[in-house]
Amino acid sequence: MSRHQTDPVRELSEQELAAIEKKYDEGAATRAVTPGFGKFLRYVALTFAVYHYLTAGFALPPDYWHMGWHLSGLFILTYALYPLVKTPTSFDLNTGALRLGGVPFLDLILMVLGVASALYLGLAWRGIEWLGVEEMTFRMGNPNGYDMLFGCILIVLVLDIARRTLGWILPLIISVFICYALFGPYFPGLLQHPGVKFNTFVSSMYFPQEGIFGVTLWVVSTIVFHFVLFGVIAQRTGLGQLFIDNATILAGRYTGGPAKVSVVSSAFFGTISGSSVANTVSTGALTIPNMKRLGYPGHFAGGVEAAASAGGQITPPIMGAAAFIMAEFLELPYTTIVIAAIFPALLHYVGVFAVVHLMARKLGLKGLAKDALPRLGAVWRDGWANIVPLVGLLVVLFSGYTPYMSAFCGISLAIIAGMSRAREPVTLIYAAAFIAFVVWKYTGGGFDLTMSAILIGGAVLATLNPQRRISISEMGDTFETGVKYALAVGAASAAVGIVIGVINTTGVGFRIGFMVTQAASNLGSDLAWLFTFGSWTLFTVEDLTLFISLVFIALACILMGAGVPTTALYIMLVSVAQPALAQLGIPPIASHMFVLYYGVVAEITPPVCTSAYAAAAIANSNPFRTGISAFTLGLGKVVAPMAFVYAPVLLFVSSTGFDLWEFTYTAASCIAGVIALSAAVVGYWLVPMGVVFRWLMAIAGLVFIAPSLQADLAALIIASPAIASQVLAKRRGAQPAV
């Protein structure tokens, strides 16, 4: 055992892993209720899940009803499961006189008010004659008393469920936006505006198209929930384990094998999970103890898992919720976002992989023994059917169908793979029902012949799954878990709709965007003389303005990311970044991706980095030190956004067009930069590297990211002393040192 390892390595039980996920994943930490009330909540969660599953495949009701039902489910489950104030005893069961089933009557009252305010919009859409309520068309911008009452209730309660599930930071930021809308005349300078009347504000926040019933809630209730549910079901039926086993086979035998398994398995797992914490716990339960056994320090083992798992939100084809919202904002197909995300995600994993490899070389760590690796034949013989749902989902998604139809087909195939077995004829009812659905869609022109044949073939194949069949009760537990995971993102999406409403009403996004570019331009003008040598200018004022603007926005993303979920952070900051970067000539998809990536970086940036804290709990290491390790390992994600802003060709689908040679050259340059940064972080390339040479490699790595021949030549010149010293030391036979 390595002398780096100071604490014993112990496998954590399923209960201990569940406790870690409950502590660090806002979707898992819930209040205890009585068995009877728990059964009621289970029925609510299952009804919620089945409603979304069926409407995705058959037909969506009108938006105001659909989002109203979604909000109703959020209110019932959030007020039942999350306490008013989280204290060390707030999750303990207490059935005193002021509680029903362990839930305080205050929360039950708020639950009823929330459901009433969510459903009132649908009930009053065509008017309520006996109450004197006119049709919605006549009330837009001129709300009546009922609109004001239920609108105010909804605004307050949406902020409250966001606070209960995510903490105080997001509601406080949204409250600042509300104050800005209402008290505009009292703000200074460019931020000043005439102000929004209170009834106009409530109307804007409550009625559809903007505000709470706007695009964010629509995307989450119509698309994101289904993909969260698919990820949970696919993991439960065995796809997650199939990924881990294959990652172990691919990478386990090489230098630092278990750490590379962590990177590869997290990359695989990220394709079905948009949750960083769930990814960390699921794959880290196996990979972190294995890394520690091999000799990696605990904080580094946890950092590897956290950095790799944070990539789940930017790993195609199933990215985090923000990617679906991005598709709506940009009015692009989700598949376009998926294609654009391929290389940036690859660059992130190259960076983590490079650091892991170099650290293993530095510590002299070996791979896993051959007999410790799973057998490829046995893994696929047992688990091949679990890949069918993912293939089905991707085929439907990339054939031009809606994301929710692809999710419906993926969930259906996952249910079949888990519950239907050809050797048990009664269980074939699930496969038969899906095949009947496909035939119905074909006869109605919804699916063409090829798609119908693929889906029917997938359903038949899934029934041949050799693994143990999952019972109805177990699948019910899985659906319930999927709903609980969706509560926090649902609350965030509803609350952050208020921000979008304020931005649309006041134009504050353009105001702040102008202020950012103006400040960057002034600073660029002040610094331009540093880069001017006679008549020759290294960087123009325009170059400096763009770079400083990007740095400002990146810092805002990272700082605001301390406690704000990636999705909410993306929505708030893209409203500022998009106008600012558009003024500087950046294509929209590049600016949106830029904000998304830095929002994800915030997940592994201390002091608040939930993924790293969850990994530290598994690794039994210092949380802050684990966060630092995760951040340094995620440097690829830190520099990648700069690269694709300067070279949109890396996104494949940018409006600037795609050129294969330009892409190949720029991609190679970026990868060289990430590897140089990795060597600087570890202090090792061919042999141990001194402090001066590490700084040279770090500077060279940053310069490599700039996509131009001049920058690459400058980077090579900067790095050449370090490279030469490494090659010479290697030839002299210098041995890797710890």
Say if CB 9 and CB 289 are below 8 A apart.
yes
Distance CA 441, CA 446 (A): 5
With respect to residue 114, please indicate whether it lies within any of the assigned structural domains: yes
Tokens of 12: 């954590």
CA distances, 454 to each of 239, 436, 723 (Å): 20, 14, 53
With respect to residue 200, please indicate whether it lies within any of the assigned structural domains: yes
Q: Radius of gyration of the chain from Cα atoms?
A: 27
Residue whose entry in the numeric block shows the structure tokens 């994600």: 637
With respect to residue 309, please indicate whether it lies within any of the assigned structural domains: no
CA distances, 32 to each of 38, 165, 166, 392, 451 (Å): 8, 15, 18, 38, 45
With respect to residue 166, please indicate whether it lies within any of the assigned structural domains: yes
Domain housing 713:
674-738
Say if CB 413 and CB 459 are below 8 A apart.
yes
Amino acid letter, 680: A
What are the 10-residue block averages of pLDDT along the chain, 738 residues in total? 46 63 57 87 95 93 93 94 71 62 89 95 84 77 86 95 86 91 86 87 83 89 88 84 83 76 75 68 77 81 83 78 84 88 85 84 77 84 91 91 92 94 92 96 92 95 92 92 85 89 83 85 86 76 84 80 74 80 84 85 74 82 85 75 84 73 88 89 87 90 81 89 89 57
With respect to residue 56, please indicate whether it lies within any of the assigned structural domains: yes
Output the pLDDT for position 577. 79
CA distances, 45 to each of 28, 42, 70, 155, 444 (Å): 14, 5, 11, 23, 32
**How would you classify the pairing of strands 532-533 and 536-537?**
antiparallel
Distance CA 118, CA 153 (A): 9
**Segment 385-400, tens digit of pLDDT:** 999 999 999 999 889 8
Q: Residue-wise over 683-710: b if at least 16 C-beta within 10 A, else e?
A: bbbbbbbeeebbebbbbbbbbbbbbeee
Sign of CA dihedral 261, 267, 273, 274: positive
Distance CA 328, CA 526 (A): 39
Distance CA 494, CA 585 (A): 32
Name the nearest CA neighbour of 261 among 404, 372, 173.
Answer: 372
CA distances, 441 to each of 59, 337, 436, 446, 452 (Å): 12, 27, 9, 5, 8
Angle between helices 541-560 and 635-646 (to 10 degrees): 140
Q: What angle do CA 511, 512, 514 make, to 5 degrees?
A: 65
With respect to residue 489, please indicate whether it lies within any of the assigned structural domains: no
What is the H or E stretch that residue 86 is in?
A: none
Last residue of a domain, one of 199, 217, 235: 217
Q: What 8-state DSSP symbol labels residue 468? A: P
Say if CB 68 and CB 55 are below 8 A apart.
no
Last residue of a domain, one of 181, 196, 217: 217
Say if CB 623 and CB 614 are below 8 A apart.
no
Last residue of a domain, one of 177, 194, 217: 217
Distance CA 500, CA 301 (A): 40
With respect to residue 651, please indicate whether it lies within any of the assigned structural domains: no
Q: What is the DSSP string of 502-567?
A: HHHHH-HHHHHHHHHHHHHHHHHHHHGGGGEETTEESS-HHHHHHHHHHHHHHHHHHHHTSSS-HH
Name the nearest CA neighbour of 57 among 417, 433, 346.
Answer: 433
Amino acid letter, 146: Y
With respect to residue 57, please indicate whether it lies within any of the assigned structural domains: yes
Output the pLDDT for position 737. 40
Output the pLDDT for position 461. 95
Distance CA 620, CA 617 (A): 5
Distance CA 136, CA 148 (A): 13
How crowded is residue 432: how many other Cβ atoms within 10 Å of its Cβ? 13
Domain count across the chain: 2
CA within 13 Å, CB half, 550: 24
Say if CB 564 and CB 170 are below 8 A apart.
yes
pTM of model > 0.75: yes
Distance CA 23, CA 30 (A): 10
Q: What 8-state DSSP symbol labels residue 99? A: E
Residue whose entry in the numeric block shows the structure tokens 């143990």: 468
Distance CA 563, CA 503 (A): 22
Distance CA 328, CA 209 (A): 12
Distance CA 288, CA 619 (A): 6
Say if CB 456 and CB 503 are below 8 A apart.
no
Residues comprising the chain, all counted: 738
